[in-house]
Amino acid sequence: MLELALLVVSIGLVDSLNPTTIIPALYLASGEFPARRTLEFALGVVAVNLVGGAVLLFGPGRVAVDVLPHPGARAVHLIELALGAAALIAAIVVWLMRARLMALQDRVAHPGQRLALTSGAVIAAVELPTAVPYFAAIAVVAEARAGVVEGLVLLLLFNLAFMAPVLAIAVLARVAGPRPAGRIERIRARVLGHLSAAVALLLLLLGLGLIGAGAVGLA
């Protein structure tokens, strides 16, 4: 169960660098009630993903497991190696684009704040049919034949990992607190200036860990 949870969380973290969730979160963090609105947005995304994931896991997912060939431990370790390589590539891309990401944040305008929860739900619903990493995580859980409670917990872990950057933005917005607008913007700019480097480092460590686990398992 622990190894399965780590694999699902790893897939979620690799998939978490998603501009369709991070950019709206940055918008919301730049406006009124930033922490609350950003959390509402995250809740909308997680709610739709959980419902959709549960339907797939306990419906078509179980049927597919019974029909398709069952991958063994070797396949799982190969998946770990592939995810590790993807994480390393993503780390390099984020590091090389850190200046552009900072410039993008500088151009973000203050949006309307009233539909944060709905916006998150709509974005998740639109993205769900093409959410290949999420489908991979659901397939892994279905293959393990996890029970209802265990399956829902694993889906929740994936979605929390997937929302990690958004949740980090909400925490940073909360830490900034009700301070003068100019000071808040300076704090956010300073934090965001180092955010890309921190994400690149996290992806690097994640990639090395996954490659190590996959290599040890295959050996």
What's the confidence (pLDDT) of residue 96?
79
The reported pTM is 0.64
Binned average pLDDT, 10 residues per bin, the chain of 219 residues? 82 82 79 83 93 82 52 66 78 74 51 69 83 82 79 92 90 67 54 64 75 77
What's the confidence (pLDDT) of residue 108?
45
Q: Are 17 and 102 in contact (CB under 8 A)?
A: no
Residue 210 CA: distances (Å) to CA of 14, 65, 95, 127:
11, 25, 20, 26
What's the confidence (pLDDT) of residue 57?
83
What's the confidence (pLDDT) of residue 42?
93
d(CA 17, CA 165): 7
d(CA 216, CA 69): 24
What's the confidence (pLDDT) of residue 162?
93
Q: Are 210 and 80 in contact (CB under 8 A)?
A: yes
d(CA 35, CA 44): 14
Contacts of 140 (CB under 8 A, 6+ apart): 4, 7, 8, 11, 76, 79
What's the confidence (pLDDT) of residue 76?
65
